[in-house]
Amino acid sequence: MGLFTKKRSLVPVEYLPQNVGIIMDGNGRWAKNRGLPRTAGHVAGAKVFRKIAKYCDRRGIKVLTVYAFSTENWKRPQAEIDAIMNLLRDYLKESLSDFKHENICTRFIGDRTMLAPDIQELMAEAEESTADKTGMILNIAINYGGRAEIVHALRELVADGVSPEEITEQSVEAHLYTAGQPEVDLILRPSGEYRLSNYLIWQCAYAEYVFMDVLWPDFTEKHLEKAFTEYARRNRRFGGV
């Protein structure tokens, strides 16, 4: 029987993950399957991102972190990098007015110093204009890598002059881009790949993983609900019994 043919009740909010990470994978293959350029896949993927982010907020998710551009993505052809940056630019401009109607607090994680100055300004504006929102925190990972994030945190600690004894899990956590946010509960990766790809590696120490055989541009709220149902079934022990 098809997974969505049965009418299902939604997982109650108290059993939902508080913090969800999504690796928005499969845009290129989606475009290739249609004989389109890879950039068309990113355009479609950006639309799905908008829809899923708003849905997560309405559903009561506390933190959503999406992987938009990794530190490794600079290896892609320049035209594809430019297309992703343009999509980000469009999203940021559009969202500055759209954000007014949403209760989402937008933040960016990653090293933004390598991005175009106008994009950096738009990012700062988006963060400032949504800083007092009380709904979901939306972290958009751009030029982000989990290892680079840990190195960045350690460098800050060293620059602060901390002693070896003061380097603790808590002090490292306090210097991550996601400082103060709860740990990741659920990592969701569509596209049939079974990897973490340097994503939130510190924050995912006890996360549950759901991998789905759907390409990101085809991802819908129903797929998300299926992942929430799977998550709610898991028995999380955090190393205990």
**Rounded to whole angstroms, how far apart are CA atoms 170 and 97?**
37
Beta bridge partners of 114: none
Residue 141 binds ligand FPP, judged by CB under 6 A: no
Site map 94..133 versus ligand FPP, x via CB under 6 A: ----------------------------------------
| Smallest separation (angstroms) from ligand FPP to the CB of 46 | 4
**Rounded to whole angstroms, how far apart are CA atoms 184 and 24?**
16
Residue 211 exposed, middle or buried by CB count within 10 Å (0-12, 13-18, 19+): middle
Q: Which 3 state secondary structure label does DSSP give 211?
A: strand
Closest CA to 181 of 235, 151, 136: 136
Instruction: Find the Cα–Cα–Cα–Cα dihedral 81, 83, 89, 94, rounded to 10°.
Output: -150
Q: Exactly one of 19, 25, 27, 143 is catalytic; which is it?
A: 25
**Rounded to whole angstroms, how far apart are CA atoms 138 and 65?**
6
Interacting positions 170-229 with ligand FPP (CB under 6 A): 191
* 90 counts as catalytic: no
Residue 73 binds ligand FPP, judged by CB under 6 A: yes
| Smallest separation (angstroms) from ligand FPP to the CB of 85 | 9
Residue 52 binds ligand FPP, judged by CB under 6 A: no
| Smallest separation (angstroms) from ligand FPP to the CB of 84 | 5
* 33 counts as catalytic: no
Toward ligand FPP, which CB reaches closer, 46 or 207? 46
Part of the chain binding ligand FPP (CB under 6 A), chosen from 44-52, 108-116, 125-133, 166-174:
44-52
Record the tokens describing residue 25, joined without a space: 């994978």
Residue 88 binds ligand FPP, judged by CB under 6 A: yes
Q: 196: how many CB neighbours lie within 10 A of its CB? A: 16
Which spans of this chain sit near ligand FPP (rule: CB under 6 A)? 24-29, 42, 45-46, 49, 68, 73, 84, 87-88, 91, 140, 191
* Residues forming the active site: 25, 73
